Amino acid sequence: MSGIMIGNNNYMSPYAGGYASASAGYSVSGQTSAISDARKTVQNPGESTEVRPGRKSSPAECETCKNRKYQDGSDEMVSFKSAAHISPEASASRVRAHEQEHVNNAYSKAAQKGGKVLAANVTLKRAICPECGTSYVAGGTTATRIKYPNESNPYMQNKKSLDAASIKGNYLDLAV
Beta bridge partners, 120, equal 144
> What confidence tens digit (pLDDT) does each residue in 130-171 have?
888 888 999 999 999 998 887 677 887 888 788 888 777 776
Q: Is the pLDDT of residue 38 over 60?
A: no
A 10 A CB-CB count for 50 gives: 10
Q: Is the pLDDT of residue 5 over 70?
A: no
* CB 23 within 8 Å of CB 58: no
Tell me the mean pLDDT in the region 120-127.
94
Our CA dihedral for 74, 79, 95, 132, rounded to 10 degrees, sits at 100
With 0-12 CB in 10 A as exposed, 13-18 as middle and 19+ as buried, what is 59?
Answer: buried
> What confidence tens digit (pLDDT) does each residue in 61-116 have?
788 888 889 999 888 888 898 899 998 889 999 999 999 999 999 999 999 988 89
pLDDT for the residue numbered 43: 64
> What confidence tens digit (pLDDT) does each residue in 137-146 have?
999 999 999 9
At 58, which helix (H) or strand (E)? none
55 residue type, one letter: R
Compute the distance between CA of residue 5 and CA of residue 28 in angstroms, rounded to an integer: 6
More confident residue, 119 or 162: 119
pLDDT for the residue numbered 137: 94
